[in-house]
Amino acid sequence: MVAAVVAPIVSVVGAGALGSMVAARLANAGVATKLVLRAGSPRWRAVDDGHLRVHVSGAAPMTSFVAAASDAADADVVVLATKVWQARDALLAATPPPTAPVVVLSNGALALLDEIPGVAAAATTHGCFETAAFQTTHAGAGTIWVADAKAHGVFSRVEALNSTLVSSDEMTARLWRKLAANCVLNPLTTIRRYNNGAALATEADRATARAVVEELAAVADGVDAEDLYDAVVDCAAENAENFSSMYQDCRLGRPTEVDFLSGWVVARARARGSD
């Protein structure tokens, strides 16, 4: 007798722009997906008959009905897509089983690897912003790089997620490139009040970007400043129509992730005896 193949259950923790987009696309592809929310939260009120209606506009527009859950207790794979400063508490509240890999899609993943042992980081250049709860604009169609084979098997079910399986060494390099994009584009777009596509349009902004990546390269593992600068340029081009998460946070009066981005780099430099 041939044993039945049990499809994995994927729990996406974090129902913001990125988490909603990923959950909607997975559910639309037939993956058993649950979007984990805090029971009783304002977003929980949108749950209807155990599901959430998530609309994705922009790249590959679609609408999906995604199962809602208050925890990830039955998950086979957990995708952590919260704000980085919410990640630890959100993961603890979700109570995933110890056998489920936890893949971090949050900005500041390098900081989370220091803070939450056992998680598997991923890096993405997909750019999303919300126009309302569960109304997500997929403004930049990018890539997900992941070193966990089980998570890649899930992400690769969706062509629009463009998942790539990489080695652990390549994953580390990708995380530094992602951090460089965040440390340059997020503050610039917030201060200047423009989208990512305008971030490197002037010589002054390009000089700022090069200064930032030089500082990053001084404390990075295995990547140089030119590699980091190229990653910033590529991310800005892929997400030209997107507004960075820091821009959106400041516009809406929410806490930013700066302490886990530039702040983490400063702390790392000080720990190494650099100014």
Residue 263 buriedness (CB in 10 A; 0-12 / 13-18 / 19+): middle
pLDDT at residue 2 greater than cutoff 80: no
Q: What residues form DSSP beta bridges with 46?
A: none
The arithmetic mean of pLDDT across residues 197-220, rounded, is 94
- DSSP assignment string, 205-266: HHHHHHHHHHHHHHH-SS--HHHHHHHHHHHHHHTTTPPPHHHHHHHTT---SGGGTHHHHH
The predicted pLDDT at position 4 comes to: 45
pLDDT at residue 197 greater than cutoff 50: yes
The predicted pLDDT at position 231 comes to: 95
Residue 192, Ramachandran bin (φ over 0: left; ψ between -120 and 50: alpha; else beta): alpha
The predicted pLDDT at position 275 comes to: 65
The arithmetic mean of pLDDT across residues 176-198, rounded, is 93
The arithmetic mean of pLDDT across residues 212-221, rounded, is 92
pLDDT at residue 3 greater than cutoff 50: no
pLDDT at residue 146 greater than cutoff 60: yes
Supply the pTM of this predicted model.
0.91
Question: pLDDT band for position 6 (50/70/90)?
Answer: low
Structure confidence by residue, pLDDT tens digits, 108-121: 999 998 888 889 98
- 3-class secondary structure, 102: strand
Q: How far apart are CA 59 and CA 50, in angstroms?
A: 27
Tokens of 216: 């990053």
The predicted pLDDT at position 272 comes to: 84
Q: How far apart are CA 59 and CA 17, in angstroms?
A: 13
Question: pLDDT band for position 221 (50/70/90)?
Answer: confident
Cα 265 to Cα 107, 170, 202, 214, 235, distances in angstroms: 13, 20, 25, 12, 20
- Percent share of the chain, pLDDT over 90: 83
Structure confidence by residue, pLDDT tens digits, 79-98: 999 999 999 999 999 999 99
Least Cα distance to 255 among 134, 58, 108 occurs for 108
The predicted pLDDT at position 185 comes to: 94
Rounded to the nearest integer, the mean pLDDT of the chain is: 92
The arithmetic mean of pLDDT across residues 125-143, rounded, is 93
Tokens of 184: 């340059």
pLDDT at residue 163 greater than cutoff 70: yes
The predicted pLDDT at position 274 comes to: 74
Sheet hosting strand 144-146, strand order edge to edge? 127-132, 135-140, 51-58, 62-69, 32-36, 9-13, 77-80, 102-104, 120-124, 144-146, 163-165
Residue of 3 and 100 predicted with greater confidence: 100
The arithmetic mean of pLDDT across residues 116-140, rounded, is 92
